[in-house]
Chain A
């Protein structure tokens, strides 16, 4: 069978048409922070339906970790792009015209656009109060009342001040990473239909059960009165997690009494979800022999106007910032902060890219200050089998050193370090989490798999099919695997954090065992990983399963133009066991290329709260011409090892490997992306210092 992706027959949520369906457009706030004085839809033609604040005022609030969102901004708009009204019309053209004829009166309020400023006392408050909760809030929230901090996470391990007192060398620096846009090729797309009190949605989502839970709260219906189907997505990268376009589409469909389709225009993607910009202060101390002795980290994650999964992002940024090293004294303070910018949320390797940039740049700065080879410094301090992390958890199947040595070897590190850089990543997986799958025997000798793992190009469903074929002793072609449908599949936490092949693969083993042991035609398998961290001490189990990897880069810098040319990029990732070789390679290459964009040019630019580069011309993503001629990788395996997810691991170590390579040329950068302007400024600063 020819793959539908090469014949043009692949279908996404965007392609769905239902009889009598209306097309929706969203009317968005023009101000970063404003009181909404009135929304007037009387100029909208009668063939259209208008959804305004009064239609949603009585509906429930939503938010996967903090319930701070209403279907439309009701009294206050909190960012440029905050939905204030929505329209549905028989054609898209009419919907566009209708949206333009909705009049909104605003009264501007003071606004704040920087997380560090927003966290300070006296900053304009984005929310008066918000309610924590939701199944995605798998940890206790620590909002700081009277401030914009919606969650604070801490690690306290050892005595960090005593550690610094013992240190011979201490480096300290502030690192910043820019916001980024996922730029999934298929926009957010959803079709909603009400059939009396049953709500049906076809939506490209990685989190069908989380969306169902939030919509049940919004509309005040039981979860089993909502059916959510997730067709394959044209890319997601974290952007299609939690409620995005679904609540507006469903509210419009209910008011219209007809199905409603909402597909976001490209520019509105930048107003819907971006990656958290971060400011991370690292203080790192060592003895003169290179032994790490203390590390203090303060992270600010800018979550924008609504929390979304920002508390989780900040927490992960915090618990991954110590890095895969043995450090007796660690102190982390991570803050998730509201600002008047578009919401920021999950983005491939969430929180991890930001902390890895800061942590791994700091390691090279320390190596430089100590006069020790950065590879040797890492190998000297890297966590080994059976050691404990600063959260108190013991690590198993630890392969950091192997990954790092393979990456160093790939670029000939020992033959000269100029223009070369290395980095390591230690990445957690969603913990706690649950996965379940049903295997049904068909009449034709084939099998049907039913689970909520969503397809977004990452190939997890193909990997699960291959595992099922192997376990059931049949050809992969005899496995059917319908799209996730919450009315037909068992609960699964979500398709995120590179967890699906690992978690669902284990559930599948149980399901096949159940099928065999029951002797029936249906087997159910379920796995639950417990864990989590105390938000005040950071002690507990951050991750039941760690993703491990290293990156190596070789660069040249044009000192006239400031352009960084990456001639060689290599990652070594611990796979444990590779299930689907081409898929594993594609996910690794895709992560590396996304990391390259983050390193060199991707940045959501805003001026007074308005995103100024909300299109794919002003916001470039990596193209053929950007790809290093030598882009290579290793996927390390071990006989009998568990499957390790590969969807994200190769992204976070790429920017610091490039940054460290650039620093080896005397161009020392602390902020991402490493744009030519910053390179030239660093060269000038160095010349100024020499003069």
Chain B
């Protein structure tokens, strides 16, 4: 599979999640388990560009696919910059998943409304409750790109 732009051949058991494999084999620690049942979005990765829950995706199903984690965005991606500028995080545990989901939204929808952002991000939970500033960040990233 391709992970963050590089080809990798990884060993995994058939019943392992991609979350466990990315952490163990590649040290991609931004992919984090919180709920373990696909409701919180902290383990979000992009599978061929689509956000999926890393805790539910069995590793063998990612064979031949392209995976992106937040480490693959480099640090200066416009969505990352927008999150930093808007102070859109507290503990930071959910942030990687939020950024990846927002990135996908902005590919679909160049100028989303606040409602669009809330709907698209509804599968990502933030217990610190940084939601207001996360919406600001996503709208800010869209505005930045349009400018």
The answer to whether B29 touches A8, judged by C-beta atoms less than 8 angstroms apart, is yes
Verify if B2 is at the interface (C-beta below 8 Å from A).
no
The answer to whether B91 touches A233, judged by C-beta atoms less than 8 angstroms apart, is yes
Where chain B touches its partner, the secondary structure class is loop
Can you report 10 residue pairs joining A to B where beta carbons are below 8 Å apart?
Answer: A7-B30, A11-B29, A184-B91, A184-B127, A186-B32, A234-B93, A235-B93, A590-B128, A616-B35, A625-B118
Where chain A touches its partner, the secondary structure class is loop
Decide: A186 near B96, CB < 8 A? Known: A2-B76, A8-B69, A627-B131.
no
Chain B residue nearest in CB terms to A627? B131
Stretch at the interface among A79-87, A142-150, A591-599: A591-599
The answer to whether B91 touches A6, judged by C-beta atoms less than 8 angstroms apart, is no
Verify if B52 is at the interface (C-beta below 8 Å from A).
no
The listed residue with most B CB atoms (<10 A of its CB), out of A184, A185, A627, is A185
Verify if A639 is at the interface (C-beta below 8 Å from B).
no
CB within 8 Å of B: which A603-618 residues: 615-617
Verify if B110 is at the interface (C-beta below 8 Å from A).
no
**Additional pairs, 5, CB under 8 Å, beyond known A2-B80, A15-B29, A627-B132:** A3-B89, A8-B96, A14-B32, A457-B93, A589-B130
6 A-B pairs with least C-beta separation: A8-B30, A457-B91, A5-B92, A234-B93, A593-B129, A590-B129
CA distance A6 to B91 in the complex (A): 11
CB within 8 Å of B: which A357-406 residues: none
Q: Give A455-483 as 1s and 0s: 1 = Cβ < 8 Å from B's Cβ atoms.
A: 01111000000000000000000000000
Contact surface of A with B, Cβ cutoff 8 Å? 2-12, 14-15, 182-187, 232-235, 237, 265-266, 456-459, 582-583, 585-587, 589-594, 615-617, 621-625, 627, 631
The answer to whether A232 touches B91, judged by C-beta atoms less than 8 angstroms apart, is yes
Verify if B99 is at the interface (C-beta below 8 Å from A).
yes
State how many angstroms separate the Cβ of A629 from the closest Cβ of chain B. Answer: 8
Contact surface of B with A, Cβ cutoff 8 Å? 28-30, 32-37, 39-40, 42, 69-71, 73, 75-76, 80-81, 83-84, 87, 89-96, 99, 117-119, 121-122, 124-133, 135
The answer to whether B35 touches A590, judged by C-beta atoms less than 8 angstroms apart, is no
The answer to whether B93 touches A615, judged by C-beta atoms less than 8 angstroms apart, is no
The answer to whether B130 touches A185, judged by C-beta atoms less than 8 angstroms apart, is no
Chain A residue nearest in CB terms to B76? A2
CA distance A620 to B37 in the complex (A): 13
A residues near B42, Cβ cutoff 8 Å: 185
Decide: A2 near B84, CB < 8 A? Known: A8-B30, A617-B39.
yes
The answer to whether B133 touches A235, judged by C-beta atoms less than 8 angstroms apart, is no
State how many angstroms separate the Cβ of B14 from the closest Cβ of chain A. Answer: 13
The listed residue with most A CB atoms (<10 A of its CB), out of B36, B84, B127, B132, is B127
